[in-house]
Amino acid sequence: MICPVERDLHVLKYFSSVITISEGQVINVTDPSLRSCPLARHFYPEFKDADPEDVESLRNAVRRIIESKIRNYGFFTNDRSFHFPQGAVPYGASEMLAVSLKNRFIETAVVVCDGAGTVITGSPETVQGIGARMNTLIFTSPVKEILEKLNEAGCHIVFKDNAWIDQVKGVEKAISLGCKKIGVTVPGFAAEQLEQIRLLGKEAGVSMVILAVCTTGISANKIEMIRQYADLAWACASGEVRKQLGSIARLQLSKQIPVYALTERGVAFAASYLDDPSLVRHFDSTKQYLLSSEPGGWPVCSGSLQGYVREAVLPLEARKTSLHNSNKNERVLA
């Protein structure tokens, strides 16, 4: 019997800091090991004034950003908004899942939401609303109004009593509900779940697309699990993910925060994000490809997002930037 969670408590990871939230207030922020992130600089002006060599300055920036998300979007509270514009983050996992649902490449997404835990939904708008501007959610507790909003949107909440996060159980439930084409997000720190999820898909005979997200700072053995079992992987701020997965990827999306399609299914999922998915028919299975904003190759678009696909030796980076130091010597490019 699952016992309800009595205390309002949420834990997430952002910019390599672990943030604890309760009753709509940030109650703790750990020191970040990250020093810079192009995506963070793009979306949040708080980082423009932060000294990258001053840990306290960066920690305060992280705090202000999470507080702004609570204030502006209602994260972790009764005021949680699920209305975000499509394409909020180019090649973001929630954006790609939403478009893939619209195009019927998948019919269901198993994702994680603050105040609800593991959630199953077939709604593109809800997937976007859950994932846009959300960071690595480690732990969450039930928020009554969030549960009600998701229920009204037709979502299936796997653990209503305690908002537990378990993507394996989420996939099991989606399969039991009769879903045949499933997309699921799994954070890098939980990469040991990937093999179980892949096996569930094979045993049930369902089409499974596994998205490995939030990979900053993960260990080498977890990167290997992603290599073996995931279809797509987000590089985030990990130099080792770029090195180990970028080199064997079939397709790389973007050079700033790369997304790697590791399998044929991953390439097809990425192509479903484009206005003309048939582009992949021209791919040579022995070659690697890059989709970026740099002119050259085949022009492509996804809504208002314009880009080009060309052959390339992967991984490719935009410019040198010191990012995550999982150890004293690690430096990566973004």
pLDDT tens per residue across span 300-313: 998 878 999 999 99
Indicate if the pLDDT at residue 120 is higher than 50.
Answer: yes
pLDDT tens per residue across span 198-244: 999 999 999 999 999 999 999 999 999 999 999 999 999 899 999 99
| Of the candidate ranges 27-41, 192-206, 313-327, the one whose mean pLDDT is the lowest | 313-327
pLDDT value of residue 7:
87
Segment 42-66 mean pLDDT: 90
Structure tokens at 273: 């994000």
Any bridge partners for residue 74, and if so which? none
| Of the candidate ranges 47-51, 90-94, 133-137, 200-204, the one whose mean pLDDT is the lowest | 47-51
Indicate if the pLDDT at residue 147 is higher than 60.
Answer: yes
Segment 120-145 mean pLDDT: 96
pLDDT value of residue 5:
54
Segment 241-269 mean pLDDT: 96
CA angle 311, 317, 322 (to 5 degrees): 170
Tokens 């397709």 label which residue? 251
Task: pLDDT band for 323, please (50, 70, 90 cuts).
Answer: very low
Indicate if the pLDDT at residue 183 is higher than 60.
Answer: yes
Indicate if the pLDDT at residue 9 is higher than 50.
Answer: yes
pLDDT value of residue 188:
97
Segment 138-162 mean pLDDT: 98
Question: Judging by beta carbons within 10 Å of its beta carbon (0-12, 13-18, 19+), is residue 118 exposed, middle or buried?
Answer: buried
Indicate if the pLDDT at residue 78 is higher than 80.
Answer: yes
SS3 199: helix
- Which of 81, 87, 84, 43 lies closest to 62, judged by CA? 43
Q: Which long-range contacts (CB under 8 A, 24 or more apart) does 15-23 make?
A: 15/40, 15/58, 15/61, 15/62, 15/65, 16/216, 16/217, 16/237, 16/324, 17/58, 17/59, 17/62, 18/138, 19/62, 19/63, 19/66, 21/66, 21/70, 21/76
Stretch (H or E) spanning 290: strand 289-292
Indicate if the pLDDT at residue 167 is higher than 60.
Answer: yes
SS (H, E, C) 52-111: CCCHHHHHHHHHHHHHHHHHHHCCCCCCCCCCCCCCCCCCCHHHHHHHHHHCCCCCEEEE
| C-alpha span between 71 and 39 (Å, rounded) | 21
Is there a contact between 142 and 76 (Cβ–Cβ < 8 Å)?
no
Task: pLDDT band for 319, please (50, 70, 90 cuts).
Answer: low
- With pLDDT > 70 as the criterion, what percentage of the chain qualifies? 93
pLDDT value of residue 45:
83
Indicate if the pLDDT at residue 332 is higher than 80.
Answer: no
pLDDT value of residue 87:
63
- With pLDDT > 90 as the criterion, what percentage of the chain qualifies? 81
Segment 50-66 mean pLDDT: 94
Indicate if the pLDDT at residue 73 is higher than 70.
Answer: yes
SS3 228: helix
| C-alpha span between 298 and 294 (Å, rounded) | 11
